[in-house]
């Protein structure tokens, strides 16, 4: 349990996950450094899904909660997307570190409609688990160093808790020092 969340193995609760997340958990490698049963899920009030409201209502610290933001930039007429995963007490350096990682001239948060359509997840619940395989997942090193961290589940009515180290093992994940700056 983290805060007052009542967790259980995520792979047994597809009703609390977006379809791409369920599919990614079903394909979790048996030889991964973190067992799939260490990925937990807890139901929450969907009206409390936004980070600040969630942390306050469920007694979870901002340093135990991570935000996954979708960023986009253009290069040679093509839009490039990436996910940035940062602790909730930090902000992603979108136009510095993330922009350079995408190799674009300018990066910004992807429009909500695009993020929702491309991920198959609900806005406010987007998670790095189950993202399009061609997207890089930039994970701030502070997230990986967290023993257990709370992230979205692809839907607003639940949250996933998992070891921070598991996020470094996701397909397309790259651990990036100083991806985020303290708020």
How many other C-beta atoms are found inside a 10 Å radius of the C-beta of residue 97?
20
- Considering just the CA atoms, what is the radius of gyration of the chain in Å? 15
Residue 161: CB partners within 8 Å, gap ≥ 6? 2, 5, 7, 39, 40, 41, 42, 148, 149, 150
Q: How far apart are CA 7 and CA 10, in angstroms?
A: 8
Q: What is the pLDDT of residues 73-93, one digit of tens each?
A: 999 999 999 999 999 999 999
Which pLDDT score, from 0 to 100, does residue 150 have?
98
Q: Are 34 and 166 in contact (CB under 8 A)?
A: yes
Q: How far lies 39's CA from each of 25, 96, 164, in Å? A: 9, 31, 10
Q: How far apart are CA 114 and CA 165, in angstroms?
A: 29
Q: What is the pLDDT of residues 101-142, one digit of tens each?
A: 999 999 999 999 999 999 999 999 999 999 999 999 999 999
Which pLDDT score, from 0 to 100, does residue 2 have?
86
This prediction's pTM: 0.96
Whether pLDDT at 1 is above 80: no
Which pLDDT score, from 0 to 100, does residue 172 have?
96
Q: How far lies 27's CA from each of 24, 122, 134, in Å? A: 5, 21, 16
Q: What is the pLDDT of residues 30-58, one digit of tens each?
A: 999 999 999 999 999 999 999 999 999 99
């Amino acid at each position: 349990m983290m805060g007052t969340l009542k967790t259980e193995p995520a792979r047994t609760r597809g009703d609390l996950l977006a379809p791409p997340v369920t599919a990614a958990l079903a394909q979790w490698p048996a030889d991964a450094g973190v067992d799939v049963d260490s990925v937990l899920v807890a139901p929450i009030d969907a009206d409390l899904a936004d980070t600040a409201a969630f942390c306050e209502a469920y007694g979870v610290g901002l340093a135990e909660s991570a935000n996954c933001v979708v960023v986009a930039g253009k290069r040679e007429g093509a839009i490039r997307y990436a996910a940035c995963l940062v602790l909730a007490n930090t902000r992603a350096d979108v136009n510095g570190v993330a922009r350079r990682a995408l190799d674009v001239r300018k990066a910004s948060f992807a429009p909500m409609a695009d993020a929702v359509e491309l991920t198959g997840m609900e806005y406010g619940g987007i998670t790095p688990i189950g993202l399009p395989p061609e997207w890089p997942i930039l994970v701030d090193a502070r997230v990986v160093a967290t023993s257990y961290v709370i992230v979205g589940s692809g839907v607003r009515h639940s949250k996933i808790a998992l070891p921070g180290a598991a996020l470094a093992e996701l397909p397309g994940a790259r651990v990036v020092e100083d991806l985020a700056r303290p708020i």
